Amino acid sequence: MIVLGIESSCDETGIALVDTEAGLLSHALHSQIAMHQEYGGVVPELASRDHVRRALPLLEEALERAQLDKSQIDAIAYTQGPGLAGALLVGASVACGLGLALRKPMIGIHHLEGHLLSPLLASNPPEFPFLALLVSGGHTQLMRVDGVGRYQLLGETLDDAAGEAFDKSAKLLGLDYPGGPAISRLATLGDPQIHQFPRPMLHSKDFNFSFSGLKTAVLTAVKKYPHDLSEQDKANVARGFVDAIIDVLLAKCLSALKHTGLKRLVIAGGVGANTQLRTALNSAALKRRFQVYYPELEFCTDNGAMIAFAGALRLKANPQLATYQYSFNVKPRWPLDELGAA
C-alpha cells in the first residue's frame, strides 16, 4: 500500500511517499526558516500562506522522485495536530481535497507520534519496547513506547521545551532563529569554566523537566557583562548553557532507563540533531550498556516522511483507521497519551 504523508504543523512543508512493504519511496521538504528569520520566530499567518504555496509543487516533486502517478496513492496521512491551527488546516484541506478527488481514504496523524516513530525509518531500527526522549521546539517528554500507539508518558517539561530553551538562549546572544544549531556550534569554542548555570530539576526524583530558569540564568549572565559581549564571551555563555541542558537531558534519560529497566533509548525531535547531546548519550550508552537510536539527521526536524511512515504503520496494523469521510478537524492541542493504539 502506498501512503502519501503531508506535514504542515509549523514552519516546514513536508510531503513523502511510503510503501507499507518497501518503506520510504521519496520525500520533498521546504523549510520556511529564512522567511521567519527576520521576525525572530515563526509568524503563524505567514506560515499558513507559505504552506498553501508549497504543498502541491512538493507533491509533484515527491511523485516524480518516486516515479509514481497520483492515481497510485492508496491512502493519505496528514498531520492533524498538535501545531499552529492555520498551518494544520492547510495540510488537512490539501489531504481532504486530494482524497476526495482520488477517492482514497485519509488518516489524521499525531505530529509527535511521527517524531517518535521516525528512528524506525533509519537503517538500524530499534525494536519495541523502548524509552523515548522527545525533544523538539514545542515538547520535551520521556515516554515508554510498547508499540504503535502504545505510549506511556513518564515525564515532561513543566515550562519551556528543550528546543525553546535553545532558541531563546540563542536569541539572548544575538543569534538568528532557530538558534539551536547556532548556539550549539558556538558552544564548541567556549570555555566550560566561565559559567556554571543551574541544572533545573536534576535531583527532582521524577522524570519532569524545567528549562525557563536556565534561560533566565543565561539572561542574568549576559546582563552582568559591563560591556558588549565579545565573540569569546558569547561562546563561553553558550558553552555554559549547552553543558547545563545536556547534563539534565542525559541524567533524566539515565534515571528513566533505570526505573523502567529498558535497554533501548530512542531520541526524536529537532534537538535530537544536537551533537553534544549525541556525544553525551553515546558515551553513556557504551559505559552503561544500553543502545541509543536516532533518526537520520534529515528526519530529526519536521518532515513529511515521518507522517507518511506513521500513517503506513497505523494502516498496516489496522486498515479500519482510514476514513472516506472527507471532513476534517485539526487539533492544535492534542496530548499524545489521548491517542489510541493502532
With CB under 6 A as the contact rule, the residue among 26, 184, 236, 255 that binds ligand KG4 is: 184
Nearer to ligand KG4, 265 or 300 (CB): 300
Among 51, 295, 301, 304, binds ligand KG4 (CB under 6 A): 301
Closer by beta carbon to ligand KG4, 2 or else 293: 293
Q: Is 164 in the site for Zn ion (CB under 5 A)?
A: no
Q: What are phi and psi of 137, to 5 degrees?
A: -70, -25
The nearest distance, CB 117 to ligand KG4, in angstroms, is 13
Q: Indicate the helix (H) or strand (E) that contains 169.
A: helix 162-172
> What's the maximum distance between 2 C-alpha atoms anywhere in the chain?
66
Residue 198 corresponds to which cell in the numbers above? 543551574
Based on the shown chain and the rule CB under 5 A, indicate whether residue 302 belongs to the binding site for Zn ion. yes
Nearer CB in complex with ligand KG4: 262/271? 271
**Angle formed by the axes of helices 231-260 and 275-288, to 10°?**
40
Decide: is 160 part of the binding site for ligand KG4 (CB under 6 A). no
338 Cβ neighbours under 8 A, 6+ residues apart: none
Told to check if 271 binds ligand KG4 by CB under 6 A, we report yes
Which 102-141 residues touch Zn ion, going by CB under 5 A?
136
Binding to ligand KG4 by residue 91, rule CB under 6 A?
Answer: no
Q: Considering the rule CB under 6 A, would residue 304 count as an interface residue with ligand KG4?
A: no
DSSP 118-151: GGGGSSSPPPSSEEEEEE-SS-EEEEEEEETTEE
Cα 254 → chain centroid: 21
Contacting positions for ligand KG4 (CB under 6 A): 10, 136-138, 163, 166-167, 178-181, 184, 269-271, 273-274, 301-302
